[in-house]
Amino acid sequence: MSRVVVDDLGAEVALPDGPVTRVVSLVPSLTEAVAVTRREALVGATDWCTHPQDLDVTRVRGTKNPDRAAVAGLHPELVLAVQEENRELDVRRLRAAGVPVWVGVVESVDQAVDAMERIFGEVLAWGVPDWLARVRELWAQAGGSPPAPRARVAVPVWRDPWMVVGSATFTGDLLARAGLINVFADHPERYPALPVEEVDGAGADVVLLPDEPYEFTADDGPEAFGRTPTRLVSGRLLTWYGPAMAQAWDHLAAVEV
């Protein structure tokens, strides 16, 4: 017996008629979410899946270059992917090899929470975990009546070339709900490449330098900004959806000018 679910891009995915017991995750944040909820079901993850820190599963290379043969060899009942982080080519070829892949679309806090509720409740058939109910409570409240803006921020995610968080991103929505206004929120691109001088002169009160996807450090990043103060922050708490969102609430509340 099997059942069919429809992913966020409209593709039909055939699953066992019951709870899914073998999962490969190609998304670091979803890897953490699955491991925290039912670790024994997670059989594979990418090299970038760093949380939980003691996670011991088969690694299948990166989010953009997964070892598809290794994924198929784990005989997963489901592979988790998202449109932003994973390539359509890999999804298509895994499906052609008979591997079921569910693809999510996440460009906002609401989409992240909705996608995770679908994954755990409908797709994996595990029920909604307690940590996810807490995440919805925290961030849905912020969406209904967000706090007054406390600071204007810019958030680089790469250098050489410098790239920043732009419009229609999960990170931008997370920041806004925490009272931090992204100075590039109206840019037509989601992750525009800009001269660092433009980032430095954009009128931000502080530049937030995360440790991923580019690993900014005290010696690599702050020296490029002569006008705007900088602050090193956790990239996981800015960009990961899942259990990290509960920690992000307190983390972002502590960002002051």
Specify the CATH number for the domain of residue 192. Answer: 3.40.50.1980
Ranking 88-92, 136-140, 238-242 by mean pLDDT, the lowest is: 136-140
Q: What percent of the chain has pLDDT over 90?
A: 88
- Asked if residue 118 is part of any domain, the answer here is yes
pLDDT for position 228: 98
pLDDT for position 255: 76
pLDDT for position 148: 77
101 and 158 part of one domain: no
DSSP run (H or E) holding 175: helix 170-177
* CA–CA separation, 219 and 214 (whole Å): 13
Q: Which domain holds residue 26?
A: 2-128
pLDDT for position 249: 84
Q: Which amino acid is at 32?
A: E
pLDDT for position 141: 64
* Mean pLDDT value across residues 76-94: 97
**241 and 104 Cβ atoms separated by less than 8 Å:** no
* CA–CA separation, 2 and 73 (whole Å): 21
123 and 160 part of one domain: no
The pLDDT tens digits of the residues spanning 178-230 come to 899 999 999 999 999 999 999 999 999 999 999 999 999 999 999 999 999 99
pLDDT for 41 beyond 80: yes
pLDDT for position 257: 64
Which has more confidence, 228 or 246?
228
Q: Which residues, at least 6 apart from 237, have a Cβ–Cβ distance to it below 8 Å?
A: 244, 247, 248, 251, 252
- Asked if residue 136 is part of any domain, the answer here is no
Question: Residue 142 — very low, low, confident or very high, per pLDDT cuts 50/70/90?
Answer: low
The pLDDT tens digits of the residues spanning 143-156 come to 566 677 889 999 99
Q: Domain ends where: 62, 97, 128?
A: 128
pLDDT for position 251: 84
23 and 54 part of one domain: yes
Q: What is the mean pLDDT of the chain?
A: 94
The pLDDT tens digits of the residues spanning 11-40 come to 999 999 999 999 999 999 999 999 999 999
- Say how many domains are in the chain: 2
DSSP run (H or E) holding 4: strand 2-6
Q: Which amino acid is at 124?
A: L
**181 and 152 Cβ atoms separated by less than 8 Å:** yes
61 and 156 part of one domain: no
Q: Domain ends where: 93, 128, 163?
A: 128
- Asked if residue 138 is part of any domain, the answer here is no
pLDDT for position 15: 96
- Asked if residue 134 is part of any domain, the answer here is no
DSSP run (H or E) holding 36: helix 28-38
The reply to whether the predicted model has a pTM over 0.75 is yes
